[in-house]
Homo-oligomer: A and B are copies of this chain.
Amino acid sequence: MNERFLKACRREAVDCTPVWFMRQAGRYMQEYQAVRKKHSILEVCKTPELAAQVTLQPIERFPLDAAIIFADILLPLEPMGIRLEFTEGEGPVIHNPVRDRAAVDHLRVVDGDELEFVAAAIRQARRALAERVPLIGFAGAPFTLASYAIEGGGSKNFLYTKQFMYREPDAWHRLMDKLARVVTAYLRRQIHAGAQAIQLFDSWVGCLSPTDYAEYVLPHVQLIFTGLQREQVPLIHFGTGTSALLRLMREAGGDVIGVDWRVNLDEAWERMGFDVAIQGNLDPVVLLAPLHEIERRVEDVLRRAAGRPGHIFNLGHGILPNTPVESVAAVVDLVHKLSQR
């Protein structure tokens, strides 16, 4: 098997920098669009054959160093009792947002049986991958899940979420604890089903002040990472807009910290310490730029990583729908070529 990605997670020497992309199975690929024409996102997630098929699409097309199971970060909310829908264009909508203590009390702490379809998809994807590249499992982190559950969907200011935090700290911590326990069980099942690494997506945690992060988020994320430590697979801790949170995120846990483009990779790494691996950090919009601009920026990220062990090349967030397939191919090749040791 191509071990580059797993080695980099453990900060071991590699022949060249491994690369994979968040949302590498996505709308920018015709193969994916063909599946989505016939099936909704939730249908694809819940049908192991389809989820495995979509997971493999980018692997068949590009020499990527890791696959990531096709799923959605919000899946654990459903069995907890949250009515989730993906609307065309609008993204996820939650029909019974969690806005008070009673709603938190009603949430079920499920152990993952209800998400067995993800484990099945992982088993199928592992078989189809046939040890070519490792398979990453993932889940949303408690804050990001809570923000969708409370806001009822995506948000700009996270007004309801922060108000809930400030006004009902006890209910907040209870909600975060329930989410952390569900996420831990869910990720453990993914690992037992064959996920060879795990990424925790705290996509929107960058909206918080460092003080609020430390008080309202960190302990719950720590619970997840502590709970998964004995599973012995690399754990990636990712967020966006986290420039001032990096030290705290590292404290919360993870063998690899994922950073977005809003901070220089070398500065981010130095701030966290070089004894943790780092993943990132090209702006996804760069993939819509002309090839010479893409090349210049890939070079810049690699130059800042300075060939240190423990860098995994990725975007700072998911691939955008209108990204040219050729640009994705070009970045994979550039990363491998320019980083050869």
Taking Cβ atoms with an 8 Å cutoff, the residues of A that contact B are 156-159, 162-163, 166-167, 206-212, 241, 243-244, 261-264, 267-268, 283, 285-286, 288-290, 293, 297, 300, 320
Contacts and interface: CB of A to CB of B under 8 A. Distances in A.
A159 B243 contact: no
A167 to B, nearest CB: 6
A241 B285 CA distance: 18
Contact of A244 (B167, B211, B243, B286): B243
B162 A283 contact: yes
A284 to B, nearest CB: 8
Given A241-B241, A243-B244, A288-B163, A264 B320 contact: no
Contacts of A162: 283, 285-286, 288
Q: How many copies does the complex hold?
A: 2
B166 A288 contact: yes
A288 B161 CA distance: 12
B167 A289 contact: yes
A173 to B, nearest CB: 15
Q: Name, among A162, A206, A285, A320, the residue most crowded by chain B CB atoms within 10 Å (CB to CB).
A: A285
Contact of A285 (B166, B261, B264, B293): B166
Nearest to A245: B262
A157 B285 contact: yes
A292 to B, nearest CB: 10
Nearest to A288: B163
B244 A207 contact: no
A177 to B, nearest CB: 20
A117 B320 CA distance: 43
B163 A285 contact: yes
A285 B158 contact: yes
